[in-house]
A = this chain, B = another copy of it.
């Protein structure tokens, strides 16, 4: 008798970003150049000092590290957070296998199956996957493109709260919108968390990519010491996505104790990339200036060119390296597939992520796409030319 897979296995959402990959591969096989604005894989080189730290390491046995990560790395991270005015001890940091594992740990340690988490949509699609794994329910509050995806009104959050609500997730700076929540917005959210006894999970993967001053870390919210968990990662910060090193940071001791047991079950985070992460904290202080200037330059070009296309609207994102644009199209999923399958201009096309995958509410985001400005300015310009041409001829174009 053939066994059947589980309901949750069947319910796991397919990645909305990766589902178009076969169409991109087919386009490339036809000789079409594809500009990838669909995925947050930075093209910027990993700092040489970071890779060299691994290449010059001289240990003889690739041992398990401490389940919470090497103490030397955690102590180094303490100094990293101090730069942002965040005071944590190395015992309040658990090194994780990417930011992904930090999110999963938070879901598992704070919520039981059937519990609910509230997330402003559009949101990072993999939150859905981890929620399915943990058996928890995502309730969305909708942010609006018209105000640049600012934090929805508190009443919208409150309307979603039930006795099963255990946490709110924010991503700041935001993937996929690029919005940077202000200190005031976070303080408003805090009141709600304190009133209802909710955790606040703050995914701060893009902390450094904020073009109007450093974003306010949720770890600095007063009175929220037992409510806040920061999910972090070296992936975007140092172009080190493949390292799979993140961090789970909280001052809640009961939560740390439970999360340590999750960490012990999987033994340890990857050793090589902990060496890389430790070296990264020692990069010269001007390292991010150059990177940030480059991303800001790309953003400026992208947003300007997008808004020059008739019928397109793209708010100016304050952080991360994503933008969401509204296009004059019938259906973003169809359009993004069509771009790869049926369109090319001067033998080039562009790959975008349909925004539908970032909304939990069915039907939302059908005219929106996410663009990751992870290509150099020249390529972004070429990609925007492709998009302009595509919108002239796309059969599903809507009235402007």
Chain A positions within 8 Å of B, measured between CB atoms, are 1-10, 12-15, 18, 41-46, 50-51, 54-57, 59-65, 67, 97-98, 100-101, 104, 108-113, 115, 126, 129-130, 133, 135, 166-167, 193-199, 226-227, 239-244, 252, 254-255, 258-259, 261-262, 264-273, 276
Question: How far, in whole Å, are A134 and B9 apart by their CA atoms in the complex?
Answer: 12
Q: A97: which of B42, B97, B130 is its contact (CB, 8 Å)? A: B97
Tell me, in angstroms, the Cα distance from A10 to B258 when the chains sit together. 6
Residues of chain B within 8 A (CB-CB) of A97 are 97, 244, 266, 270
Complex-state Cα separation, A115 to B193, whole angstroms:
34
Contact: B133 with A6, CB < 8 Å? no
Which residues of B are found within 8 Å of A262, using beta-carbon distances?
A: 9, 12, 129, 133
Expressed in whole angstroms, the Cα–Cα distance for A4 and B257 within the complex equals 13
Selected from B14, B167, B198, B243, the residue in CB contact (under 8 A) with A62 is B243
| Residues of B close to A272: CB separation below 8 A | 54, 242-243, 270, 272-273, 276
Kindly report how many copies of this chain are found in the complex they form together: 2
Measured between alpha carbons, how far is A386 from B252 in the docked complex, in Å?
Answer: 41
Q: A187–B70 Cα gap in the complex (Å)?
A: 43
The answer to whether B100 and A265 touch across the interface, beta carbons within 8 angstroms, is: yes
Q: Is the CB of B100 within 8 A of A64?
A: no
Docked CA distance A227–B15 (Å): 26
Instruction: Name the B residues within 8 Å of A55 (CB-CB).
Output: 54-57
Question: What CA separation (Å) do A276 and B15 show in the bound complex?
Answer: 28
- CB-CB under 8 A from A51, the residues of chain B are 59, 62
**CB<8 Å pairs between A and B, sample of 5:** A3-B166, A3-B198, A55-B57, A244-B270, A270-B270
Decide: A135 and B133 in contact? CB cutoff 8 A. Answer: no
A131 to chain B, nearest CB (A): 10
The answer to whether B64 touches A242 (Cβ under 8 A) is yes
Is there an interface contact between B267 and A100, defined as CB atoms closer than 8 Å?
yes
Q: Which of B60, B130, B198, B265 contacts A126 (CB 8 A)?
A: B265
* Chain B residues within 8 Å of A100, by CB: 265-267
Contacts of A193 in B (CB 8 A): 3
B61 contacts A98, C-beta separation under 8 Å: no
Q: Is the CB of A41 within 8 A of B63?
A: yes
